[in-house]
Amino acid sequence: MIKTASIHLRPDDAGSLALVGGIIAFLEERGIATLLPDIELFADGALKKHRADTMELVAGSELVIVIGGDGTFLRTARLFAGKRAPLFGINRGRLGFLTEFSPDEAFHHLDEVVAGKHPVSERSTLDASLIRDGKELRTATVINDAVISKGAFSRPISVRLELDDAFLNCYSGDGLIIATPTGSTAYSLSAGGPIVIPSIDSAYVLNPICPHMLAVRPMIIPAQTTLRVRIVSDFENLLLTIDGQEAIPIEGEDEIRVRGSEKKVHLIQHPARDYYEILRRKLGWGKNVNGDG
């Protein structure tokens, strides 16, 4: 039985306050306590008493409710990577790959979730580490993708790639995307990468961005393989961006190490909507010549 749930949304999303209040009342009727992030949006009024710091949110949540789009979902998922608490995504905009439930249907499905009747999918993650002068400066959990990019420079950057200490290639281009199966439908897809079904948790995508060699193509890499990317270009303002949200400055001769992580993210699935339906809707597949689906 779930005893405590937390609700997460964008810090400036005042339009969701009524929905938050409704969810809290719904949960309280079922004897479930609610935690909210300690943000300015909840500083006044009846919601103030539910605020908790990040440590309490992560430790105390048995169910995680996310209101917003896939960006908000990703930010929350990174907090709970490696935890057992499943994430329930309510999308206030267009149908998302991660936020699968609409506000109109949320309460019906939450009732089912509380009763333990909804399926939960497990998504794989990556660990991305920044190495400088032989020292590990930073390690981040990757839900969608890690992107090495050249910032504002118009010149290409050069990178050297190794897989488990075996040299693979050295090439120039606009950057490099390393994507999880979950993230294969994000930036990597726009850059010509393959779609990897999220249930495949034993691989990740290596996708060069605009390489200056026609023979360079995206690759599917086994999750247990360690990818080493060494920045050959001596540029400033190079970035390692995690899930499109966290930008880590990198320098020439830095090394980025990426490998499949033991941390998993647990998503509550829509019982009437599978991944392939979401693909069809988001990508416009399955339409005949008359425009009917």
Tokens of 98: 């991660």
pLDDT, one tens digit per residue, over 62-75 is 999 999 998 999 99
pLDDT, one tens digit per residue, over 169-215 is 998 999 999 999 999 999 999 999 999 999 998 999 999 999 988 88
Burial 30-55 (b: 16+ CB within 10 A, else e): eebebbbbeeebbeeeebeebbbeee
Q: Are 221 and 205 in contact (CB under 8 A)?
A: yes
Examine the pLDDT at 152 and tell me if it is beyond 80.
Answer: no
Average pLDDT over the chain, rounded to an integer: 92
Rounded to whole angstroms, the Cα distance separating 175 from 145 reads 13
Q: What is the model's pTM?
A: 0.91
Strands (E), 31-165: 33-37, 51-52, 63-67, 87-90, 120-132, 135-142, 145-149, 157-163
Q: Are 279 and 195 in contact (CB under 8 A)?
A: yes
pLDDT attached to residue 258: 98
Domain boundaries, the chain: 4-119+269-283, 127-262
Residues 6+ apart with CB under 8 A from 153: 235, 237
Q: Are 210 and 148 in contact (CB under 8 A)?
A: no
Amino acid at 102: S
pLDDT attached to residue 92: 83
Classified as helix, coil or strand, 286 is: coil
Classified as helix, coil or strand, 205 is: strand
pLDDT attached to residue 95: 65
129 CB-contact burial (10 Å; exposed 0-12 / middle 13-18 / buried 19+): middle
Percent residues over pLDDT 90 in the chain = 76
Examine the pLDDT at 291 and tell me if it is beyond 70.
Answer: no
Examine the pLDDT at 45 and tell me if it is beyond 90.
Answer: no
pLDDT attached to residue 153: 63
Rounded to whole angstroms, the Cα distance separating 230 from 256 reads 6
Strands 63-67 and 4-8: parallel
Question: What top-level class would CATH report for the domain 4-119+269-283?
Answer: alpha beta
216 CB-contact burial (10 Å; exposed 0-12 / middle 13-18 / buried 19+): middle
Check if CATH label 2.60.200.30 holds for domain 127-262. Answer: yes
Helix then strand count (H, E) for the chain reads 6, 17
pLDDT, one tens digit per residue, over 105-135 is 999 999 999 988 888 999 999 999 999 999 9
Tokens of 88: 């329930």
The whole-number average pLDDT for the span 274-285 is 87
Residues 6+ apart with CB under 8 A from 57: 6, 35, 37, 79
pLDDT attached to residue 292: 53
- Among 199-213, 220-234, 278-292, the range scoring the smallest mean pLDDT is 278-292
Chain centroid offset of residue 126 CA = 10
Rounded to whole angstroms, the Cα distance separating 158 from 135 reads 22
| Catalytic (active-site) positions | 70
Examine the pLDDT at 37 and tell me if it is beyond 60.
Answer: yes
Alpha carbon separation from 114 to 108, 111, 129 (Å, rounded): 10, 5, 37
Count CB neighbours of 18 within 10 A.
10
